[in-house]
Structure 1
Amino acid sequence: MNARPLNVAVIGAGPAGIYASDILSKSGMEVCIDLFERLPAPYGLVRYGVAPDHPRIKQIIVALYKILQRGDIRLIGNVEVGRDITVAELRERYDAIILSTGADTDAPLDIPGIDAPEVYGGADFVSWYDAHPDHPRTWPLNASEVAVIGVGNVGLDIARVLAKNVQDLLVTEIPGNVAQALAASPVTDVHIFGRRGPAQVKFTPLELRELGKQPGVNVTVDEEDFEYDEGSQAALASSNQQRQVVKTLEGYAMQDPEDLTGARTIHIHLFQSPVEVLTDEGGHVSALRTERTRLNGDGTVTGTGETRDWPVQAVYRAVGYAGSPIEGLPFDHERHVLPNEGGRVLDQDGQPLTGVYATGWIRRGPVGLIGSTKSDAQETISNLVADAQAGLLGSGRQDGAQAGHDAVMALLTDREVPFTTWEGWELLDAYERELGEAYGEVEGGRGGRERVKVVARDAMTAISRSSDVPVDLIGEPDADRVPQRVAHRLED
């Protein structure tokens, strides 16, 4: 074991990074932890990946807040690894680094027509309505009929936000630019497509039930979409959650058509595999072509050759998230993760990179929720502690000014990086809560909201650093920070 505290940098202040930091802080080792976040606000996809009308997410934020509020984990926000400081520079100054950068892009869907201009990544749409500072402030909501590909909770979120009456969102933290755009949307029908059957969909019961509780919105499922093979029956027998999902879907299918009086409808289509996005002569989306599938007996499906064209003017891909490469580290481009064994990141030869670890979705891929994230973090930290006890960490590091927190703060200050801190986040948190109270009075006399997000990165940073706050709290994103896949929207 080291005579001095172990200096550890954790990259990514979402649940994975915060839980890993918490577990490490309670490991019994003497350790100094710096938690880096590329945005001026913590919490990752809990803040920027969940629809604003999901109040239960607040419970997760409360738990994460209590961990960081203790003060033994130092938050360093608005610092992008690879841009403001490199992995190599971190490795020079810390005994270990833990990557918890998550998955922030859409998994690919390789079908003809997928590059049409009205085909959108679900992750990008979520980033827009969740006020991510590095995404364009506008969204092209011009379609009356929309397709959402994917039967997970992200697909449900997208469909619900598209179909929901915007007045019912004004009690949430949704910013004004998003509310204004959604209010003008002409959408009437949102079609959700899944290639398998009801026993295989990835919805969670509560989210699926909430779909049918929106005023003025119908939810329909075709009675023909309820087929079960031996694999399906086994899945239902082993999962109470899946049984609840099927029961809810069956309830939607058995509704009396006369009761479906909403102005907008969400249609859930099962056993429909997308095979092509069709476009008109101008190259714009005109329909989604799907192929009917059938069960094989083990819960998998095979195409029947029977196709159908669904008239839509926009398509949203919600088939999963994918991690992004981290400059200076190996990357598995097929699985979109850091190659690792038990959280130890592996080099190109399959050998552990000394002092480099991964946890969360960048380690295992975008599967599992908080429970999986905690167990991931536990295994990663256990291996880090074992390596430290074996004397593998910190043997080449210097004490004093060249190592750890003080050295990195000096480097960021020299580079004039406007980093933020936990105290800065508390200032921004309080500011957003004050905005919520004020906006509630302005928007229909509904009373105060819990918060309204500040959108612009420079405004978030200024508030966090007690600088002069820009008048425009929404603004436009820094062009050089906008993901390349959505940069064209700045020109629209």
Structure 2
Amino acid sequence: MPEPRYRVAIVGAGPSGLFAAQFLTARDDVEVDIFDRLPTPYGLLRYGVAPDHTSIKSVANALARVFNSPAVRFLGLVSFGRDVTREELLASYDAVIYAVGASEDLRMGVPGEDAAGSRSAREFVAWYSGHPDAEPQSLHGVTQAVAIGVGNVAVDVARILAKEPLALDLTDMPEDVLAELRRATLTDVWVIGRRGPQHASFTTTELRELCRTPGVQVSVEESAFDGIDEAALDRRTRANVAVLREASETVVADPRVRLHFLFWRRPVALHGDPVSGLLIERTGLDAEGRVTGTGVTEELDVQLVLRAIGYRAVRLPGVPFDEPLGVIPSTQGRVLDGAAVAPREYVVGWIKRGPIGVIGTNKSDARETVEHVLADLDGLGPLPTRVDVVEALTARGLAPSSFDDWRRIEAAEANRGASHERERMKIEAWHELLDLVQRERPGGPIPPA
């Protein structure tokens, strides 16, 4: 293998960053360092895909192959902006690709939203996925819960809440999470959307799985289907409407949980602290096709409200950012600083295009960016001098974790799972992850932010 001419840094070890690394290392003159704040790679594949969706998680096995290349290094426990700066990376690498995703959730902006029992679906997903930053989620006293939103995140949290906990025992959920789900006494789950079923962004496979959850009775108001011209719908939407119709017409004997889809509703206020009720308003469309309230309200007696209305990216220190859109401004993956292209800086994934698309969308997105990275590198040539960023971190007493460290975490999770007759069980506590990384690392890792 020839000596690599180019060195590229990727900030973020989720699917978009790993797809970018795959395309970059298809050439044998490129070397890639992948930085992440966590000691665990894969991003939302590990901490965002529902634990009972093992087939989707198998994508991680394919992406893991990128680390088999000697041209790729994983550098975990490195926080961009705190441990390493934009300027340092640009002095150390011929190109820098930002792949950090979208780590904040949108808010509803209604009274009572900050009450106990009102949470973001992102936080709830992080909890049941074993993210080390996740706050414990209590379901004590919760008999009725609401997911606000009509996308796959709302479907996931509704399914986890409605599913028989025994059916989750073979997943990689942490034992504390499973114990809380077993203690739960949920009887009703609502999924609420401002528009009709024809406007929902569910993917049909996920919607069908939710509606066919054993022991769950689904209800949809017949009026929700009024005015839908099914012949004018695309294939996915037509299938979604059919799934909802079929589910609402199917009678489940002695249901364990009732699942209610409420379309043409929006949240108005949360009552109580902790939450004891959700005031919702019927909606319609105005002459311009915008959602508007009708003034007709109703209250649901609920103790848990999970907002699943979208994500938003966070500004990276020193990096250009479009605040209204919540993305790094770019053209075909090249970062824009004002109206000008920022030399040798690129972007992929949700931080590039916004929080839309599925995991596979990141592949074509990364391909577009990497084509421009390689074309620009061939035009510019390598940097005449480079700083060794790992040496600089080590000199400051910061020791990045490696892919071997991740393998040690992975092995420990397999051992923990075996003790519970499972394939694996996530290690969710920071101190345990750091203990595993510190083993055989005298300098110790960087503590979490």
TM-score scaled by length of structure 1 = 0.84
Query: 1:245 is matched with which residue?
Result: 240
**SS across alignment from 1:199:** helix
Answering whether residue 276 of structure 2 is matched by residue 286 of structure 1, we say yes
Answering whether residue 201 of structure 2 is matched by residue 202 of structure 1, we say yes
**SS across alignment from 2:198:** coil
Q: Structure 2 matches for 1:272-421, cutoff 5 A?
A: 272-277=265-270, 279-280=271-272, 283-295=273-285, 301-347=291-337, 349-391=338-380, 394-395=382-383, 397-398=384-385, 402-403=386-387, 407-421=388-402
- The residue identity in structure 2 corresponding to 1:367 is I
**SS across alignment from 1:411:** helix
Query: 2:23 is matched with which residue?
Result: 23
Q: Equivalents in 1 of 2:336, 2:90: separation in Å?
A: 15
In the alignment, is the contact (CA less than 8 A) between 2:49 and 2:57 conserved in 1? Answer: no
| Residues 399-418 of structure 1: CA deviation (Å, up to 9, x unaligned) | xxx43xxx122122223324
Q: Equivalents in 2 of 1:456, 1:313: separation in Å?
A: 27
- The residue identity in structure 2 corresponding to 1:338 is I
In the alignment, is the contact (CA less than 8 A) between 1:141 and 1:182 conserved in 2? Answer: no
Q: Equivalents in 2 of 1:335, 1:140: separation in Å?
A: 34
Count how many residue pairs are aligned between Structure 1 and Structure 2: 442
Range with greater deviation from structure 2 (108-117 or 360-369) = 108-117
In the alignment, is the contact (CA less than 8 A) between 2:212 and 2:247 conserved in 1? Answer: no
Deviation at 1:313, TM superposition (A): 1.8
Deviation at 1:368, TM superposition (A): 0.6
In the alignment, is the contact (CA less than 8 A) between 2:34 and 2:73 conserved in 1? Answer: yes
Answering whether residue 249 of structure 2 is matched by residue 266 of structure 1, we say no
Q: Equivalents in 2 of 1:303, 1:386: separation in Å?
A: 51
Q: Equivalents in 1 of 2:287, 2:235: separation in Å?
A: 21
Deviation at 1:269, TM superposition (A): 0.9
Q: Equivalents in 2 of 1:15, 1:381: separation in Å?
A: 14
Answering whether residue 2 of structure 2 is matched by residue 13 of structure 1, we say no
Q: Which runs of 5+ in 2 are unaligned?
A: 442-446
**SS across alignment from 2:78:** coil
| Residues 383-427 of structure 1: CA deviation (Å, up to 9, x unaligned) | 212222221x644x41xxx43xxx122122223324221222222
Deviation at 1:141, TM superposition (A): 4.2
Give the fraction of aligned pairs with identical amino acids, expressed as a percent. Answer: 38
Query: 2:216 is matched with which residue?
Result: 217
Flag the 1:390–1:316 CA change in 2: closer, same or farther, 3 A.
same
Query: 2:444 is matched with which residue?
Result: none
In the alignment, is the contact (CA less than 8 A) between 1:220 and 1:266 conserved in 2? Answer: yes
Q: Structure 2 matches for 1:42-191, cutoff 5 A?
A: 42-139=41-138, 141-191=140-190
Q: Equivalents in 2 of 1:71, 1:248: separation in Å?
A: 47
Range with greater deviation from structure 2 (87-96 or 137-146) = 137-146
In the alignment, is the contact (CA less than 8 A) between 1:197 and 1:227 conserved in 2? Answer: no
In the alignment, is the contact (CA less than 8 A) between 2:218 and 2:259 conserved in 1? Answer: yes
What do you get for the CA RMSD once the two structures are aligned?
A: 2.2
Q: Structure 2 matches for 1:224-239, cutoff 5 A?
A: 224-229=223-228, 233-234=231-232, 236=233, 239=234
Flag the 1:50–1:299 CA change in 2: closer, same or farther, 3 A.
farther
- The residue identity in structure 2 corresponding to 1:410 is E
Deviation at 1:101, TM superposition (A): 0.2
Q: Equivalents in 2 of 1:88, 1:44: separation in Å?
A: 24
Q: Equivalents in 2 of 1:130, 1:154: separation in Å?
A: 13
In the alignment, is the contact (CA less than 8 A) between 2:16 and 2:99 conserved in 1? Answer: yes
In the alignment, is the contact (CA less than 8 A) between 2:148 and 2:154 conserved in 1? Answer: yes
Query: 2:407 is matched with which residue?
Result: 426
TM-score scaled by length of structure 2 = 0.92
Q: Equivalents in 1 of 2:228, 2:258: separation in Å?
A: 29
Query: 1:471 is matched with which residue?
Result: none
Flag the 1:57–1:115 CA change in 2: closer, same or farther, 3 A.
same
Q: Which runs of 5+ in 1 are unaligned?
A: 441-448, 469-477, 482-492
Deviation at 1:174, TM superposition (A): 0.7
**SS across alignment from 2:246:** helix
Deviation at 1:275, TM superposition (A): 2.4
